[in-house]
Amino acid sequence: MKHLLQIDDLDREGIENLLHLAEAFAEVNRRPIPKVPALRGKTVAMLFYENSTRTRVSFETAARRLSADTMSIAVASSSVAKGESLRDTAQTLEAMGVDAVVIRHHAAGAPHLLARWLDASILNAGDGWHSHPTQALLDCLTIRQRLGSLAGSQIAIVGDIKHSRVARSNVDAFTKLGARVTLVGPPTLMPPGVQTWPVEVSHSLDAVLGQMDVMYLLRIQQERMTEPLLPSNREYVRTFGLTTERAAKLDDSVLLMHPGPMNRGIEIAGSLPELDQSVMVDQVRNGVAVRMAVLFALLGSGNQMDSMLPAAATVGAQQ
């Protein structure tokens, strides 16, 4: 595996191998000194054309815990502001000798272009509405830790599906691991062509509330809307917000998830993230482990990730 551009490039086994690797890094993160020399001498560049706190810090933390060097390009204060093209910026980075570029871009497909232009490994940290593969992997890890497995579980993804790269990547990853996904939201926030996705679609949150193992809530992405798609925030809260009244109908074992940043009081009532069944903090913690796993798989395992066998098979092979 050379790049991580989208979940689509991974099969079920590939996802499970990365999650297995991520568990090993989760253990590293619990050590008194959570740092290993695995990627010593490698350089990872962060190229963020869109605002981000958790993803950028998470990738930087992951790279540093693997002893890689990081450079962070704040696009607003760089040559990009002077009109430099994506290709020129990327080639400048490559000339400085980076081994991997973590890119977030407002245009879908930008990481794919970089992968064509550069020799470095490209990690997609979110491109437009399209894909956010490490988010999907960390969500899978979080669900697996809590429920044991995704196979057969019922997952509702609620909210602004249309503008959400998280929803696209998660539908892909969840269904590959055997979960059944229901998308919930108003028709205006459903993506075109949703009937071809391997999911159920519902326009009533109350109708699906009792049947789910995981409630995955999304932020309304006002900044991506070019036309009014919702009457008002209050109207949205009334029909699709996870209010305390709706949450009271949920079983205590139902996981509440959110990729962040949250708008408390809109898609989720202000007090709910503090519940035991809310795993947003686990998601952030797992994000570092998953990104360590991806960086290690791309840069550290001698590109042998494809032939990786699960631990049990390795031990068996010697006898």
Nearer to other proteins (CB atom), residue 4 or residue 189: 4
**In the set 4, 10, 19, 38, which binds other proteins (CB under 8 A)?**
38
Phi then psi for 266, rounded to 5 degrees? -110, -85
**In the set 192, 193, 228, 302, which binds other proteins (CB under 8 A)?**
302
Minimum CB separation of residue 306 from other proteins in Å reads 10
Decide: 55 and 82 in contact? Cβ < 8 Å: no
Nearer to other proteins (CB atom), residue 37 or residue 83: 37
Nearer to other proteins (CB atom), residue 39 or residue 98: 39
Query: What is the DSSP annotation of 271-312?
Result: TGGGSTTB-HHHHHHHHHHHHHHHHHHHHTSTT-GGG---HH
Minimum CB separation of residue 29 from other proteins in Å reads 12
Nearer to other proteins (CB atom), residue 53 or residue 307: 307
State in Å, rounded, how far the first CA of the chain is from the last one.
29
Nearer to other proteins (CB atom), residue 248 or residue 317: 317
24 binds other proteins (CB under 8 A): yes
Nearer to other proteins (CB atom), residue 38 or residue 150: 38
**In the set 8, 11, 13, 35, which binds other proteins (CB under 8 A)?**
35
314 binds other proteins (CB under 8 A): yes
Residues 44-73 that bind other proteins (CB under 8 A): 66
97 binds other proteins (CB under 8 A): no
Sheet of strand 43-48, all strands in order from the earlier edge strand to the far edge = 69-74, 43-48, 100-105, 121-127
CB atoms within 10 A of CB 241: 23
28 binds other proteins (CB under 8 A): yes
User: DSSP letter at 220?
Assistant: -
173, two tokens: 């990853």
Nearer to other proteins (CB atom), residue 59 or residue 296: 296
148 binds other proteins (CB under 8 A): no
Minimum CB separation of residue 101 from other proteins in Å reads 18
Please state, in angstroms and rounded to a whole number, the distance separating the CA atoms of residues 260 and 53. Answer: 10
Decide: 152 and 126 in contact? Cβ < 8 Å: no
31 binds other proteins (CB under 8 A): yes
Q: Are strands 100-105 and 121-127 parallel, antiparallel or unpaired?
A: parallel
Minimum CB separation of residue 295 from other proteins in Å reads 12
Nearer to other proteins (CB atom), residue 190 or residue 290: 290
13 binds other proteins (CB under 8 A): no
Decide: 199 and 183 in contact? Cβ < 8 Å: yes
Please state, in angstroms and rounded to a whole number, the distance separating the CA atoms of residues 2 and 123. Answer: 9
Q: Which stretch binds other proteins (CB under 8 A): 120-128, 230-238, 277-285, 296-304?
A: 296-304
**Largest interatomic CA distance in the chain:** 66
Phi then psi for 170, rounded to 5 degrees? -70, -40
Residues near other proteins, by CB under 8 A: 21, 24, 27-28, 31-39, 66, 296, 299-302, 304-305, 307-309, 311, 313-315, 317-319
